[in-house]
Amino acid sequence: MLQDTNKRLQEYNTSLQQYNSNLQADVTKNGETITKLQKEKNTMVETMNGLKDHANSVKMQLDLAKSSQNEALKQKNELLKEVDNLRSELQQVREDRDHKLVEVHSLLAEIGTYKEMTGKSAVELDNVMTRSTALEEICSAQQERIKLLEVQLASTNEKLKRSDLTTIESMTEYEKQKRMSEDLQLRLEEAEQQIIDGEKLRKKLHNTILELKGNIRVFCRVRPLLSNESGAISYPKSGENLGHGIELTHNAQMYAFTFDKVFDQLASQEDVFIEISQLVQSALDGYKVCIFAYGQTGSGKTYTMMGKPEIHDQKGLIPRSLEQIFQTSQTLVSQGWKYNMQASMLEIYNETIRDLLANNRTSIQDGGISKYSIKHDTNGNTHVSDLTIVDVSSFNEVSSLLKRAAQSRSVGRTQMNEESSRSHCVFTLRIFGVNEGTDQQVEGVLNLIDLAGSERLNKSGATGDRLKETQAINKSLSCLSDVIFSIAKKDEHVPFRNSKLTYLLQPCLGGDSKTLMFVNLSPEVSSTGESICSLRFAARVNSCEIGIPRRQTQIRSLSQG
């Protein structure tokens, strides 16, 4: 069809070319006529005076020639229009031809695809025929197998009749086993109850052990010597003070002290935590627990309490205690316990309380008065008004809070340390536990406190704002010393309100809390004066007797359940 169309187009083009040639011949002929007439006109003009008689005749001929010329021009224009139309038709025909060619190529591609499919179908048909033959063979084999199985079935039916008798005997045995299983279930329930009773006994014995060790216990820890330092501390090599004694040489005189536990320079973070892990457990059991670090700047208080949480071996007491709290609370779920926990963190800087978890750290109102006030309820619980309290359910959540608080804590440079903590930092975790099986409730509190460095003004080299900070730190630590001395002497009045620190710690020092103090020491010779002051203070703390710790527990009523 395309070839016929092309042939017709070629013939049409040939006729157009002939028609154009005729038009061009007519135009040439008319041009020659015009030229001839012009010559005649010129001749007539030259001879007009002598040929006036012929003027009218010539004029008529001239008008006739002009009319012929106009008609020729009109015909030319019409022919040009017709040529344009033919060109448009030719263009349309070409476009139709291109479109048809595309369709032809598409059809050829489809034909190729169909050929490939036909080839594949033939191969598949051969495969199907092969599989059909194989299946027929399998079917024949299975028919033979069925006949064989029918014979075996008949034999099996006979065996089944014989096995019915055996089944009756098995049912009897099953009943016996069932009764034994029920008996074991009862024994299991009794064992679970014994476990619960044992856990209660463990808590009671655990508390008794801690009370026998003393309500305010004191641990001493000595940081390692640096490469450019010389030591002035030694330890008993044997005897009853082994692991409990420490000896300090100052001005050629030996001073000896004993505490509940002494950690030398080689003690690891894990060694220290193992000794306090039972105390941390008491917080889950419903007791108030307070652990705080005391000592001069650079003696390792912050390392003991916080350490480097990102390095496993160097984690301090705070991250390790929190890990234990959350891990143990998960293991107690099997015994019916569910726990909710709340965390807060504050610092006391220049006798001003600052909320380390608040988005806006401004803690001073007009007039220079802190907006945070300390209150103690009848149960000995401490509350700080407007303090940010965050619900936490995992160690990772608390870890992020500790990082946030560390970035907000007040630090400064002194002669004792490049980056010294210039405030007392208090982390508090409140623990609320409920046992769904026994309807028992407990409420424990874990206070972990990193005190600011204690050193004399001439030792710290503080000036300006650092001087004010040091004076405020020493005043609060001096108030802490006064409180400890008053408790040791069993004074009727204990000056807890003399500083924010002592008032905040009142339930821990004079109430029913289990309290542990770390006294941190620097072993170098130049620090022996500060070390003796710290050791004497720690010895006085170790001699204090406070109230017996009370476990905060109650049985839920039916309405609460």
Candidate ranges 186-200, 469-483, 515-529; pick with highest mean pLDDT: 515-529
Question: Is residue 300 marked as binding?
Answer: yes
Over residues 228-235, mean pLDDT: 86
For residue 242, the Cα-to-chain-centroid distance in whole angstroms is 47
Is residue 302 a known part of a binding site?
Answer: yes
Is 464 annotated in some ligand binding site? no
Residue 414 among known ligand-binding residues: no
Res 340 pLDDT > 50: yes
Give 113-165 pLDDT, tens digit per residue. 887 787 777 788 888 888 888 888 888 888 888 888 878 887 787 777 777 77
Would the pLDDT of 72 be above 60? yes
Q: What is the pLDDT of residue 459?
A: 54
b/e per residue 527-539 (b: at least 16 CB within 10 A): bbebbbbbbebbe
Quick check: 406 and 306 in contact, CB under 8 A?
A: yes
User: Binding residue per annotation — 113?
Assistant: no
Confidence of residue 560 (pLDDT cuts 50, 70, 90): very low
- The whole-number pLDDT of residue 316 equals 92
pLDDT for position 461: 52
Query: Is 209 a residue whose pLDDT tops 70?
Result: no
The whole-number pLDDT of residue 341 equals 93
Half-sphere exposure of 282 (CA within 13 A, CB side): 28
Q: In this predicted model, what pLDDT tens digit does every residue of 413-430 receive, in sequence order?
A: 444 444 445 688 999 999
Range 32-55 average pLDDT: 78
Q: Taking the model in full, what pTM does it have? A: 0.59
Residue 178 is labelled as binding a ligand:
no
- The annotation status of 61 as a binding-site residue, yes or no, is no
Q: Chain-wide mean pLDDT for the chain?
A: 81
Give the torsion sign (CA, 291, 458, 524, 257). Answer: negative
Is pLDDT above 60 for 213? no
Is there a binding annotation on residue 299?
Answer: yes
- In DSSP terms, 254 is beta-bridged to 249
Contact 432, 340 (CB under 8 A): yes
Query: What local confidence, expressed as pLDDT, does residue 412 receive?
Result: 43
Between residues 169 and 324, the one the model is more confident about: 324
* Per-residue b or e along 285-300, where b marks 16 or more CB atoms closer than 10 Å to that residue's CB: bbbbbbbbbbbbbbbb
pLDDT of res. 411: 56
- Residue-wise pLDDT for 238-291, tens only, equals 888 888 899 998 888 999 999 989 999 999 999 999 998 888 888 888 888 889
Instruction: Kindly state the tokens that stand for 279.
Output: 């105390």
Structure confidence at residue 106 (pLDDT): 85
Kindly give the residue spans of alpha helices, DSSP state H, lying in 253-358. 269-284, 301-305, 317-331
